[in-house]
Amino acid sequence: MTLHVKESGNWEQVDEVHIKKDGYWKRVKEVYIKKNGQWETVLYADGTTTITATGAGTIDVPHGVFKARITIEGANGGKGGYDGNGQGGDGASGTVISAVIPVDPFTTLSYNIASGGANGTSGGGASGASGGTGYANGGNGGATGPYGWSGTGGGGGGASSVGLDGGDVYIVAGGGAGGGGSGNQASIGKSGRDAKDLNKVNSSSTAEDGKNGTDCETADGGAGGGGGGGVIGDVDFVTTLNMDSWGYGYKEYPLAIKNISEVRILEKRSASACTFGYSYGFTGTTAWVNHGCRGNFKIEGNEQAGKGGAYMGSYDSDGYPGQSGYSYVNPDIITNYSYVDKADTSNGADGKLTITWLPEK
């Protein structure tokens, strides 16, 4: 409701009210009137502000506003490049978080709207796609091998943020990871190249840029997708891996993760026995086989959120997608929040901020 006064026979809208207290004029944040037995606010007009331009900026809280519904979106990861008929993996959507936060009139909110990761390209020796920017940047996709024709990794999306200008961060919405690039022989399938959404929050607001995807490590092949930007934190890691002890020799398989918690065999392909601790196992972040054990293994552990995707490992094979970034919700400011499905799920879509101003105390 707005306040009007009659001056010289004409009604004029009042934008500000001041009172004199202790000899000084002070601006009044809000005025109430009693109407039909109920107190109502004046000097307030409701509205919604939507910010789509990427980069950092500020916005002033309007007069009469004491709460705001914030919906903030991280940016999407880019698509991995193709090889022949093999489509590159799709990028993951950035996390979208909605919450009501307390605000004061005449204060200023700051924001950083993230840009999406670039889509991968194709060719021999092609550079990986660039990661998006934001509160935390997305990682770059990996490059293809120097020969042949394969797909680079898609870039990871950046993380978006909103908070009090010069003060607390309220929300960080993590960026989506980039999709893996396609090879033309050994394939993990389109669903294996697609990056996955990560609707999870961590307790720290410390920014963590997404890591770069792994370059192809052979003459020809697809590359890993870039990780999404976000905040520091670990997520569960699960994968399957073929490991072979040829000639009864010891063979290591290093994994670019934080730790391995379990290795177990899913399918044995050797005549030799596969016994944990003797012919297969793990040390730190490295799985290993020995004494002629060959098979397909399930490996579990933890990896850093925003980790870049790996190269599959054999000639002309696919790249894995990156890991999406962690989000953050300030527990001292926000008691309830919800995840929202992102409307624009296209590869590389930018972030966005929507604010609905509320006159509630």
* Residues 93, 154: Cα–Cα separation, whole Å: 13
- The torsion of the CA quartet 157, 133, 328, 91, rounded to 10 degrees, works out to 0
- % of the chain surpassing 70 pLDDT: 97
25-50 pLDDT per residue, tens: 887 777 777 778 887 777 666 689 99
Quick one: tokens of 161?
A: 């943020």
Quick one: tokens of 310?
A: 């790996």
pLDDT at residue number 361 = 57
54-72 pLDDT per residue, tens: 999 999 988 778 899 999 9
- % of the chain surpassing 90 pLDDT: 72
Where in 62-156 does DSSP place strands (E)?
Answer: 67-73, 96-102, 108-113, 122-123, 150-151
Q: What is the pTM of this model?
A: 0.78
- Listed in sequence order, the residues at least 6 apart from 107 whose beta carbon sits closer than 8 Å to its beta carbon are 60, 61, 164, 165
